Chain A
Amino acid sequence: MDDELSESKSSWRRLREFTSARVAIGRSGSGVPTAAHLQFQWDHARARDAVYSTLDTDRLCNELKSIGLQPIQLYSAAPDRRIYLQRPDFGRRLSAESRSSLAGTETLCDVAFVLADGLSAAAINAHAMPLLKSVLPGPSRSRSRAHDIRCTSLHPAASRRCRSECPPAP
């Protein structure tokens, strides 16, 4: 009987080979076992922290400059994350100051990169530079004017200034 039970349990655990869904986690009565429960809490906590994370604009601007780009720092009309989450329409517009700071700086460009925090500044902090480095051409990176690549980093939420060229922001 014990052998049958442990064979059953290991068969059940084998379900995990087929999917990354939280299958075969066992149960404590009707509840989730402690380890699985705390694992879920951990994963949700990291997601929550990412939503409220802060864009590391100083570091990003320095790194962008070090690869020959001229970042422009802008702000959306959402004054903080909490308001942005309730008013995504504010996040789709620049703040008045940012809009006026751009006046007279327009240039023709083929591609504009918008690094926007939106729902995860942590994602931008971690992945923006590696992504840009793999997307941008290597040797000609220093000729940024010729390629008309403009990088803007925005805080605290997204802008859709150059609609068609930018990766969709949250």
Chain B
Amino acid sequence: MKLHFRLGQMSYAFADLKTLLAKATPLRSGDQLAGIAAESAAERVAAQMCLADLPLPLFLTETVVPYETDDVTRLILDTHDAVAFSIVSHLTVGGFRDWLLSDAADTAVLTLLAPGLTPEMVAAATKIMRLQDLIVIAAKCRVVTKFRNTIGLEGRLSTRIQPNHPTDDPKGVAASLLDGLLYGCGDAVIGINPATDNVDACIQLLEMIDEVRLRLEVPTQSCVLAHVTTTLEAINRGAPVDLVFQSIGGTEATNRSFGVSLDLLREAQEAALSIHRGTVGDNVMYFETGQGSSLSANAHHGVDQQTLEARAYAVARHFKPLLVNTVVGFIGPEYLFDGKQITRAGLEDHCCGKLLGLPMGCDVCYTNHAEADQDDMDGLLTLLGVAGCTYIMGVPGADDIMLNYQSTSYHDAVYIRKALGKRPAPEFEAWLLERVICDSTGTLLPDLHFLPKSLLPAISSV
């Protein structure tokens, strides 16, 4: 369907919905790389004005990736909740933005609405939002998930401990892990990116984290972020698998390039559920995403990267995950070039994830070849904190020595919790108090009582 728009003496035509969405997207290098970005600032705003006038029901009849050839599109349309959608079905994209900003869109209504929204609808709305809109709308969403603790309650911000090591040495991993606990981190997950993807190495890491968790009685969950097939094999061998991880994307071809399918994810979810390791709840999945993955796999179908990222959230929510985060600046400057683009993308992703009902966190990060530094990360971190981001990463000194990129540090977690008055997950908070790592106000204690009694024996015996 062709879309026309007139603005003054200028007239614009957009070949179809996906073209319009791409042209309306705030500037980012990945869309330029794909050759689909607006040719001028004026064309971009004309596209945004045109997009704002589109009625939301149009997104149920016009697909950006064909239904017949893509199982993500089929998932989106087949699971769409028409009753929930009726709350906003009378609105245009622009009207939807206004409604989301209004007091009518409170936490309860947004929770009811989530299954009635498609990724393309929320992506469209976020393309015409300012950063403050992305923040205030996301902050109204509340998504709570559970495994061994409760993630996502109001006023809480959780953290992953990411104790990566270039050769997966268990002692090295344990040292980073213990360091993170001392900063009050780790309530989201203790999550290791293994340097190798072989099952034995992964099982060794799983057993090490499990031993530390049990010895210190930490109320959290573990994850070795190997390929889902590796984790399935580990479960089959009786390894202590808490969460099942997988990177996912917004088209069937993207997921195929990751070596996964919807059926495989279902199989993995069921395997994790079958071993009943969650004590507070049964959200067993952990997904990571990121703008640009589809283009990188040549699996983007001419769709802009932000819309595709939102579609990945449809895949994620289907499996009731404990945690989902975008790894926003990891993919490189050819997709998000500088701090400005990374910041906008992080806030878009978080807002879209929350609107679609996901426990959305963010890996606030960048690579050495992007135009970005820790100041940019401090900016995005602070904005996400205000937006109610569910969790962030914790990497010792922000420097990941295995993945060779920079993320947020254990210190950054302390900063954001302190600056915004956010607390860890309640079960974890109680443990920090009991272990004398924090006092009752959540302030880190200098005395390090935790250390000599339990720390070194834990490492030495690894």
Contacts and interface: CB of A to CB of B under 8 A. Distances in A.
State whether these chains interact: yes
Interface of A: 4-5, 7-9, 11-12, 14-25, 27, 30-32, 36, 40, 43-44, 47-48, 50-51, 85-89, 119
A52 to B, nearest CB: 9
A11 B396 contact: no
Interface string B386-411: 00000000011111010000100101
A89 B395 CA distance: 32
A7 B32 CA distance: 56
A86 B444 contact: no
A124 to B, nearest CB: 15
A71 to B, nearest CB: 26
Contact of A21 (B33, B337, B401, B456): B401
B172 A19 contact: yes
Contacts of B182: 12
Contact of B409 (A32, A48, A87): A32
Contact of A4 (B337, B368, B373, B452): B452
B368 A86 contact: no
B232 to A, nearest CB: 29
B456 A85 contact: no
Given A30-B415, A32-B411, 4 more contacts: A5-B447, A12-B451, A40-B398, A85-B334
Size category of the B interface is: 35 or more
A43 to B, nearest CB: 7
B399 A86 contact: no
Interface in B117-174: 163-166, 169, 171-174
B415 A15 contact: no
A51 B368 CA distance: 8
Contact of A40 (B178, B370, B399, B455): B399
A24 B180 CA distance: 9
- The A interface, classified by DSSP as helix, strand, loop or mixed, is helix
B411 A19 contact: no
A20 B32 CA distance: 38
Nearest to B164: A21
Q: Which 3 residue pairs are nearest across A and B when measured between Cβ atoms?
A: A22-B397, A8-B448, A19-B172
Contacts of A21: 163-165, 172, 175-176, 179, 395-397, 399, 401
A44 B373 contact: yes
Nearest to A9: B448
B444 A8 contact: no
Contacts of A25: 396-397
Report which residue of B29, B175, B401, B415 has the largest number of chain A beta carbons within 10 angstroms of its beta carbon: B175
A44 B396 contact: no
A11 B179 contact: no
A88 B368 contact: no
A3 to B, nearest CB: 11
A4 B452 CA distance: 9
Interface in B347-406: 368-370, 373-374, 395-399, 401, 406
A14 B174 CA distance: 12
Contact of A8 (B29, B409, B452): B452
Contact of A119 (B33, B369, B374): B369
B414 to A, nearest CB: 4
B175 A19 contact: yes
Nearest to B453: A8
A89 B33 contact: yes
B459 to A, nearest CB: 6
Nearest to A22: B397
Contacts of B266: none
